[in-house]
Amino acid sequence: MHSTVKPSFRYQLEKQKPRVGSGGTTRGASVHEFPASIGIAGVSMRLEPGSMRELHWHANAAEWGYVISGQCRTTLLNPEGPTETDIFGPGDIWYFPRGWGHSIQGIGPGECHFILIFDNGDFSEDHTFSITDWLAHTPKGVVEQNLRVGADVVAKMPKGEAYFASGPAPDDRSYDAAARGYPELVSQHRYPLLAQQPRRIPGCGVQYIASVKEFPISTSMAGSVLQIEPGAMRELHWHPNADEWQYFIEGNAEMAVFLAEGQVVIDQFEAGDVGYAPMGAGHYIRNTGDSVLRVLVGFNSGHYQSNDLSAWVASNPPSVLASNLGIPRETANDLPRSPLFMVSERDAGE
């Protein structure tokens, strides 16, 4: 964009004006709004009970969803089988492969808030293939023939893209598809991320992770929730195989991106902000607040790979570190001898 301007890896997503529809709001960040985010786009969406993000598909991105609050119901058209209908609550994730038809409906009680991540920075939730847009611009006789209804029925349908549609909130959790005689399925597209046993780093925090290992359908994306204690940090590291897109759920943080050639860009984050660390760029996330920091992290690879500073140091002979870093050999012996992943505040200077 502006080559003379220092890039920013922070975007204040929740401070943007939302797109408002029938019982729903959406705020999106693609590379057009957030120039650093060339590989991943994201959306924050809220649905009132009964309101739905209508039946649609994306031709150019898979969709990875994480529910922050409330509950929703999704339907997913499997091109090799019947529709899957699932209920999602806080901490659950979904993965919809590129090109698969889906819908998301708030089921109450209260609003459902979820984050969507797409493995394409140019992706916009505003440019999707929607059922109403398609039918409204198809010759009426074709729609009548295909749905086997009369002109009076087609005349009642939306005249253009609905995007959000609303109706009564489902009054129970029964699966409509099952009621219509489809076999009940154990969906492969839902994974209860926060129900897993997380990786715990005593005194520092926890990591929940869903890569293709834990969530096999999610071949093109992985995701993680980090909880970091005050003063602690996710240590200096880089991802050799993926860009990283961050949504700050709760707390305050500093995140810095190392771009080589002497450039480190440091930004301060608060709840509702989005951050980005390009593939291969070094970064850390440090909790600068007084309470637990919670960050949702998405990657545009199904395989989670991380090169962490402590692991790098631990895997090199102290003599190499002493020469490279210009420190006494005995000091080099005291550098981390095993991977840390997160570092607590009280470790500093000990």
Q: Choose one: 179-187, 188-196, 240-248, 310-318; the region binding Mn ion (CB under 5 A).
A: 240-248
Of 63 and 273, which CB lies nearer to Mn ion in the complex structure?
A: 63
Catalytically annotated residue among 27, 46, 73, 102: 102
Of 63 and 229, which CB lies nearer to Mn ion in the complex structure?
A: 63
CA distance 235 to 257: 12
CA distance 1 to 103: 34
Minimum distance from CB of 21 to Mn ion (Å)?
A: 14
Nearest partner of 215 among 296, 304, 279, judged by Cα: 304
CA distance 89 to 97: 20
Quick note: the x/- pattern for Mn ion over 241-260, rule CB under 5 A, is: ---x----------------
Asked if 308 interacts with Mn ion (CB under 5 A), we say no
Minimum distance from CB of 263 to Mn ion (Å)?
A: 18
Cα 255 from chain centroid? Answer: 17
Of 59 and 178, which CB lies nearer to Mn ion in the complex structure?
A: 59
Strands 264-270 and 252-258 come out as antiparallel
| Catalytic residue status for 63 | yes
Amino acid present at 60:
N
Of 13 and 257, which CB lies nearer to Mn ion in the complex structure?
A: 257
| Catalytic residue status for 125 | yes
Question: Are the C-beta atoms of 101 and 137 separated by less than 8 Å?
Answer: no
Of 107 and 116, which CB lies nearer to Mn ion in the complex structure?
A: 116
| Catalytic residue status for 283 | no
Per CB under 5 A, contacts with Mn ion among 80-99 are none
DSSP 19: E
Of 128 and 344, which CB lies nearer to Mn ion in the complex structure?
A: 128
Q: Choose one: 61-69, 81-89, 177-185, 225-233; the region binding Mn ion (CB under 5 A).
A: 61-69
CA distance 165 to 316: 58
CA distance 350 to 348: 6
Catalytically annotated residue among 54, 84, 125, 244: 125
Minimum distance from CB of 299 to Mn ion (Å)?
A: 8
Q: Choose one: 16-24, 42-50, 64-72, 236-244; the region binding Mn ion (CB under 5 A).
A: 236-244
Q: Choose one: 44-52, 59-67, 87-95, 287-295; the region binding Mn ion (CB under 5 A).
A: 59-67
**Alpha-carbon distances, residue 43 vs 55, 253, 265, 339 (angstroms):** 17, 21, 24, 33
Give the pair of three-digit tokens for residue 180. 């219509």
Please give the size of the binding site for Mn ion, defined by CB under 5 A: 2
Quick note: the x/- pattern for Mn ion over 139-158, rule CB under 5 A, is: --------------------
Minimum distance from CB of 154 to Mn ion (Å)?
A: 25
| Catalytic residue status for 173 | no
Tokens 């240590």 sit on residue:
235
Catalytically annotated residue among 10, 27, 46, 53: 53
CA distance 45 to 19: 9
Catalytically annotated residue among 10, 27, 46, 56: 56
Minimum distance from CB of 102 to Mn ion (Å)?
A: 6
Catalytically annotated residue among 48, 63, 235, 244: 63
Cis previous bond, 109, omega within 30: yes
| Catalytic residue status for 235 | no
Give the pair of three-digit tokens for residue 272. 């509702």
Counts for the chain of helices (H) and strands (E), in that order: 7, 26
Catalytically annotated residue among 10, 46, 58, 286: 58
Asked if 235 interacts with Mn ion (CB under 5 A), we say no
Question: Residue 303 in 3-state DSSP?
Answer: coil
* Burial class of 121 by CB neighbour count within 10 A (0 to 12, 13 to 18, 19+): buried
**Alpha-carbon distances, residue 277 vs 223, 293, 304 (angstroms):** 14, 18, 14
Of 229 and 318, which CB lies nearer to Mn ion in the complex structure?
A: 229
Binding residues for Mn ion (CB under 5 A): 63, 244
Enzyme catalytic residues: 53, 56, 58, 63, 102, 125
